[in-house]
Amino acid sequence: MNYRNQTVQESYLTDSWKRLKKNPLAMTGLYILSFLILCSIFLPYFTKNTYYETHLYLKNSPPSIAHLFGTDDLGRSIYARIWWGARISLFVGITAAFIDMCIGVAYGSFAGLSGGKTEEIMMRVADIFYSLPYLLVVILLTVVMGQGIGTIIIAMTLTGWINMARITRAETLRLKEQDFVLAALSLGASTKRILFQHIIPNCFGTIITTVTLTIPSAIFTESFLSFLGLGVRAPVASWGMMASDGLGSLAYYPWRLFMPAIFICITMLAFNLLGNGLRDAFDPRLRQ
């Protein structure tokens, strides 16, 4: 029984993977992301300059061989800061999306499975959170709790999990009606078993897609907050903060703004492309 379940699961995944490989846009996204993640892990160890090291005699110099992307107003290498910033942006994005996933899947599948009054109350509570303007809440929370990576992640996940919960609930409601769940129920399977053996594995595609599409919005929020000056504190680099620093001298030293801006765009684009590809791959019916 268990063995058969496993093979079905695997063939579903291999199928989706095959479909994904045929989608050039999604694969481009995947390659860009792997490149960015590997670079952000290893490159900071190999750069000559660190993100906090200042060379005042070299300040605001344009891109050159010594400083690939130029330097900022304190003579710090933008190249080094970009890769340190990549660590922070990617870390915040991925962690926030992961926490959203854990809370959202647990909440949504529980609400969907229990049904009745419990479900009603749980989803109304989620609706109340959902109707709050997202950015406003995040800004207020960051102001209350003080700056830092931890605060940003907490502030984002506090309202971010609801989207996940709604999607998981909808999927659970759909799956609950299917014959194999009925079969499992009539064989006397416990709620826990149905949840972990049948519901969640079948939601897998939707969950992965949603997570992949949540990450860019989390990265966006982080850079938005840093841009407003509510993000990480100096001297730690983050793409949003670097862009915000560069804004003042846009007319004279445009590379200070454009380098981090280009990286934010590329990362978000790659995640969006991959997410769309995943959605098509997991659910070919959507792609008409």
Partner 1 sequence: MKSIPGDPFTQEQAIPEEIMQSLYEHYGLDKPLHTQYFKYIKGFLTLDLGPSFKYEGRTTNQIIKEGFPISATLGFVAFFLALFWGVFWGSIAAFHKGRFLDHLAMILAIGGMSVPSFITATFLQYIFAIKLGILPIARWGSVYHIILPALALSAFPTAFIARMTRASMVEVLQKEYILTARAKGLSKYQIWKNHVLKNSFLPVLSYLGTLFASIITGSFIVEKIFGIPGLGGWMVSSITNRDYTIIMGLTIFYSFILLISITITDIIYFFLDPRIKDRFQNYELS
Residues 6+ away with beta carbon under 8 Å from 58: 67, 71, 75
Q: Is 143 in the site for partner 1 (CB under 8 A)?
A: yes
Q: Kindly tell me the sign of the dihedral angle through the C-alpha atoms of 28, 223, 153, 131.
A: negative
- φ, ψ for residue 48 (rounded to 5)? -70, -35
Based on its alpha-carbon atoms, the radius of gyration of the chain, rounded to whole angstroms, reads: 22
Largest CA distance in the chain: 77
Calpha distance 176→194 (Å, rounded): 9
Helices (H) and strands (E) in the chain, counts: 11, 0
Q: Is 212 in the site for partner 1 (CB under 8 A)?
A: no
Do 51 and 241 meet the contact criterion of CB atoms below 8 Å apart?
Answer: no
Which amino acid, one-letter code, is at 87?
R
- Kindly determine how many residues on this chain lie close enough to bind partner 1 according to the rule CB under 8 A: 37
Shortest distance, CB of residue 281 to partner 1, whole angstroms? 16
Q: Choose which of 25, 27, 39, 185 interacts with partner 1 (CB under 8 A).
A: 25
Q: Choose which of 140, 182, 183, 234 interacts with partner 1 (CB under 8 A).
A: 140
Q: Is 216 in the site for partner 1 (CB under 8 A)?
A: yes
Calpha distance 19→282 (Å, rounded): 8
Shortest distance, CB of residue 287 to partner 1, whole angstroms? 10
Give Cα separations from 66 to 35, 70, 125, 206, 226 (angstroms): 22, 8, 55, 46, 28
**x-or-dash string of contact with partner 1, 156-195, rule CB under 8 A:** ----------------------------------------
Do 93 and 239 meet the contact criterion of CB atoms below 8 Å apart?
Answer: no
Residues numbered 222-241 forming contacts with partner 1, rule: CB under 8 A: 223-224, 227-230
Q: Is 12 in the site for partner 1 (CB under 8 A)?
A: no
Q: Choose which of 38, 121, 183, 247 interacts with partner 1 (CB under 8 A).
A: 247
Shortest distance, CB of residue 136 to partner 1, whole angstroms? 6
**x-or-dash string of contact with partner 1, 82-111, rule CB under 8 A:** ------------------------------
Q: Choose which of 1, 56, 65, 144 interacts with partner 1 (CB under 8 A).
A: 144
Which amino acid, one-letter code, is at 195?
L
Nearer to partner 1, 52 or 134 (CB): 134
CA count, 13 A, side-chain hemisphere, 111: 23
CB-neighbour burial class of residue 217 (10 A; exposed 0-12, middle 13-18, buried 19+): buried
**x-or-dash string of contact with partner 1, 31-70, rule CB under 8 A:** ----------------------------------------
Shortest distance, CB of residue 223 to partner 1, whole angstroms? 6
Q: Is 272 in the site for partner 1 (CB under 8 A)?
A: yes
Question: Residues interacting with partner 1, by CB under 8 A?
Answer: 25, 131-136, 139-140, 143-144, 146, 216, 220, 223-224, 227-230, 243, 247, 250-251, 254, 257-258, 261, 264-265, 268-269, 271-273, 276, 288
